[in-house]
C-alpha cells in the first residue's frame, strides 16, 4: 500500500516538476520489436515471442522489452529476453503488447507498441460448464515407496444451461509440465459428465506452480465452449515470515517517499533556496526516483486464485485437504 501510494505520488510529483521543456532535447526513439507472435504452449499457458528490430541502429546501449498483457487480466513486466511464458486462462482469448525500451539509458525513448492476440476458442454461449470446484487430498504412503505421499484431485461442475443433451465434457489438468486427461468421470442423469477423479495426480501440494484445469466438450449439435480455471495450491496454514529484503524495500521506499515529500514542500515554500543557497540538481534526482520505481513494478496478478481451506491432520492418514 505504502509503496503504491509512493509510486503514485512520485509519478505525479515527477509530472508536475518535469514540464516537457525541461526534458532532455536529445531523445532518440527506439524501433519496436518485429515478428511478435503468441501461441498456446500447454494448457492455460502462452508463449510470447518477438525479435529485435533489424533496422535498429546499433548503439552502445543495452535494450530491453516492456511487455503488457491486456486481456484477460492486465499485467506488465520488463525483460531483456525475447520470449516469455505466461500462465493465463485462455477461454476468453488473450492479448498482449510489447515495446523496446532502453535498459538504463534515460536519453532514449521507448518504441511504439506492437500487439498480438489469441482469439477466444469457438463455442455457443451457455454451453460451457459452470461452478467448477476442485479439491486435492494428500495421503501418506509407506516410506519404502519413492514418493512418501500421494495427491489425489477431485473436481465437480455443473453442466452449462444451454448445453445440448448429447454434450460430453472432458477434463484436463496441467501442473508444471505434466498434463493429464481425466479417466474416471461421474455422470448426471442424462449421462453427461459432471465430476472427475484422479486418484494419483502429478501434483506437488506444497509447490508454487499453478494448477490449471480445463473442461472442454463436444456435441453433434453445436460447438461447446471450453472453460479454464487456475488454482493456487500454496497453503493458507504456510504463512512464512516476509523475507528481510521485502521489509528493507518497504523501509527504503518509505524513506525515499518522506525525503521526496519534504523536498517537494521545501521547493514549494522556497525553503530550499533559503536552507541551501547553491541549488543542487534535484531534477536528475527525481528522474532517478522515477526509474527506480519503474523497476520496482513486478509482473503480478494471476487469474482466479481460489484457495479456500487447508486442513492438516498429522494423526490421521490424510495429511491435508485443499478445497477450491
Q: Which residues bind ligand NAG (CB under 6 A)?
A: 28, 34-35, 43, 51, 54, 59, 61, 105, 107-108, 130-131, 142, 144-145, 158, 170, 172, 214, 216, 218
Decide: residue 100, CB within 10 A, 0-12 exposed, 13-18 middle, 19+ buried.
buried
Cβ nearer to ligand NAG, comparing 13 with 102: 102
Closest contact distance (angstroms) between CB of 269 and ligand NAG is 33
Pairing of strands 108-109, 34-40: unpaired
Among 126, 209, 139, which Cα is nearest to 175's?
Answer: 209
Closest contact distance (angstroms) between CB of 270 and ligand NAG is 32
* Grid coordinates of 45: 499457458
Cβ nearer to ligand NAG, comparing 162 with 246: 162
Closest contact distance (angstroms) between CB of 109 and ligand NAG is 11
Among 215, 191, 205, 223, which Cα is nearest to 131's?
Answer: 215
CA distance 103 to 296: 14
SS3 155: strand
Phi and psi (nearest 5°) for 44? 55, 40
Phi and psi (nearest 5°) for 317? -70, -35
- How far CA 186 is from CA of 103, 133, 160, 208, in Å, comes to 54, 14, 16, 30
**Numbers of helices and strands, H then E, in the chain:** 4, 19
Phi and psi (nearest 5°) for 21? -70, -10
Closest contact distance (angstroms) between CB of 182 and ligand NAG is 11
Cβ nearer to ligand NAG, comparing 224 with 257: 224
Closest contact distance (angstroms) between CB of 79 and ligand NAG is 18
Cβ nearer to ligand NAG, comparing 192 with 214: 214
CA distance 169 to 160: 10
* Grid coordinates of 284: 536528475
Closest contact distance (angstroms) between CB of 28 and ligand NAG is 6
CB 204 within 8 A of CB 279: no
Cβ nearer to ligand NAG, comparing 161 with 274: 161
Decide: residue 43, CB within 10 A, 0-12 exposed, 13-18 middle, 19+ buried.
middle
Closest contact distance (angstroms) between CB of 133 and ligand NAG is 9
Cβ nearer to ligand NAG, comparing 183 with 218: 218
Cβ nearer to ligand NAG, comparing 53 with 254: 53
Phi and psi (nearest 5°) for 51? -125, 150
Cβ nearer to ligand NAG, comparing 161 with 208: 161
Cβ nearer to ligand NAG, comparing 158 with 249: 158
CA distance 91 to 218: 15
Closest contact distance (angstroms) between CB of 314 and ligand NAG is 18
Closest contact distance (angstroms) between CB of 130 and ligand NAG is 6
Amino acid at each position: 500500500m505504502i509503496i503504491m501510494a509512493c509510486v503514485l505520488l512520485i509519478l505525479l510529483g515527477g509530472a508536475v516538476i518535469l514540464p516537457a521543456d525541461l526534458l532532455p532535447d536529445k531523445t532518440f526513439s527506439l524501433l519496436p520489436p518485429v515478428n511478435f507472435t503468441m501461441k498456446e504452449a500447454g494448457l492455460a499457458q502462452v508463449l510470447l515471442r518477438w525479435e529485435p528490430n533489424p533496422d535498429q541502429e546499433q548503439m552502445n546501449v543495452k535494450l530491453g522489452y516492456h511487455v503488457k498483457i491486456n486481456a484477460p487480466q492486465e499485467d506488465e513486466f520488463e525483460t531483456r529476453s525475447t520470449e516469455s511464458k505466461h500462465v493465463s486462462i485462455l477461454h476468453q482469448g488473450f492479448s498482449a503488447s510489447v515495446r523496446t525500451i532502453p535498459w538504463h539509458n534515460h536519453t532514449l525513448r521507448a518504441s511504439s507498441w506492437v500487439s498480438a492476440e489469441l482469439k477466444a476458442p469457438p463455442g455457443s454461449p451457455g454451453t460451457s460448464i459452470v461452478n467448477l470446484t476442485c479439491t486435492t487430498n494428500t495421503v501418506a504412503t509407506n516410506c519404502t515407496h519413492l514418493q512418501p505421499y500421494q495427491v489425489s484431485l477431485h473436481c465437480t461442475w455443473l453442466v452449462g444451461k444451454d448445453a445440448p443433451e448429447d454434450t460430453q465434457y472432458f477434463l484436463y489438468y496441467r501442473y508444471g509440465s505434466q498434463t493429464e486427461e481425466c479417466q474416471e468421470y461421474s455422470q448426471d442423469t442424462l449421462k453427461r459428465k459432471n465430476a472427475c477423479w484422479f486418484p494419483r495426480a502429478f501434483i506437488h501440494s506444497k509447490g508454487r506452480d499453478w494448477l490449471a484445469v480445463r473442461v472442454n466438450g463436444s456435441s453433434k449439435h453445436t460447438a461447446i465452449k471450453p472453460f479454464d480455471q487456475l488454482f493456487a495450491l500454496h497453503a493458507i496454514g504456510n504463512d512464512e515470515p516476509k523475507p528481510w529484503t521485502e521489509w528493507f524495500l518497504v523501509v527504503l521506499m518509505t524513506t525515499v517517499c518522506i525525503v521526496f515529500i519534504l523536498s517537494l514542500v521545501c521547493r514549494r515554500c522556497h525553503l530550499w533556496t533559503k536552507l541551501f543557497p547553491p541549488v543542487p540538481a534535484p531534477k536528475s534526482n527525481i528522474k532517478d526516483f522515477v526509474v527506480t520505481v519503474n523497476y520496482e513494478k513486478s509482473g503480478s496478478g494471476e487469474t482466479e486464485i481460489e484457495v479456500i481451506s487447508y486442513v492438516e491432520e498429522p494423526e490421521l492418514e490424510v495429511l491435508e485437504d485443499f478445497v477450491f
